[in-house]
Amino acid sequence: MNQPQNKIVVVTGANAGIGRETARGLAQLGHTVVMVCRNVQAGEVVRQEIVAQTGNQAVDLMKCDLSSQKSIRQFAAGFTAKYPRLDVLINNAANFDHTLKRPTLTEDGAEVIFATNHLGPFLLTNLLLETLKASAPARVLTVASKGLMTYPFLSIEFDNLAGQKKFSTQHTYYHSKMAQVMFTFDLAERLQGTGVTVNCIRVTNVQIDKGRYEYITGWKRWAYEIKRSKAITPAQMAAAYIQLAVVPEFEAVTGKYFDEHCKEVKAYKPAYDRAVWKRLWAVSAEMTHVA
Ligand X SMILES: NC(=O)c1ccc[n+]([C@@H]2O[C@H](COP(=O)([O-])OP(=O)(O)OC[C@H]3O[C@@H](n4cnc5c(N)ncnc54)[C@H](OP(=O)(O)O)[C@@H]3O)[C@@H](O)[C@H]2O)c1
Residue 155's CB is within 10 A of a number of other CB atoms, namely 17
Least distance (Å) between residue 63 CB and ligand X:
9
| Of 168 and 192, CB closest to ligand X | 168
| Of 6 and 170, CB closest to ligand X | 170
Q: How far apart are CA 268 and CA 207, in angstroms?
A: 25
Least distance (Å) between residue 56 CB and ligand X:
20
Least distance (Å) between residue 1 CB and ligand X:
30
Q: Give me the phi and psi of 61, to 5 degrees please.
A: -130, 130
Which residues have CB under 8 Å from 258's CB, separation 6+?
A: 199, 200, 201, 202, 240, 244, 264, 265
173 part of the active site: yes
Least distance (Å) between residue 16 CB and ligand X:
4
Residue of 151, 173, 174, 268 marked catalytic: 173
Residue nearest to ligand X (CB): 17
Q: How far apart are CA 119 and CA 78, in angstroms?
A: 20
Residues within the interface to ligand X (CB under 6 A): 12-13, 15-19, 38-39, 42, 65-67, 92-96, 116, 143, 145, 147, 203, 205-206, 208-209, 212, 234
Alpha helices in the chain (DSSP H): 17-28, 40-54, 69-82, 112-114, 120-134, 169-190, 218-229, 234-246, 274-288
Least distance (Å) between residue 49 CB and ligand X:
14
Residue 149 and residue 182 in contact, taking contact as beta carbons nearer than 8 Å: no
Least distance (Å) between residue 237 CB and ligand X:
7
Q: How far apart are CA 272 and CA 155, in angstroms?
A: 10
Query: Using CA of residue 72, residue 77, residue 82, residue 87, what is the dihedral sign?
Result: positive
**Helix 169-190 × helix 274-288 angle, to 10°:** 100
Single out the residue of 201, 249, 234, 244 nearest to residue 88, CA to CA.
244
| Of 46 and 196, CB closest to ligand X | 46
User: Would you name the residues annotated as active-site residues?
Assistant: 173
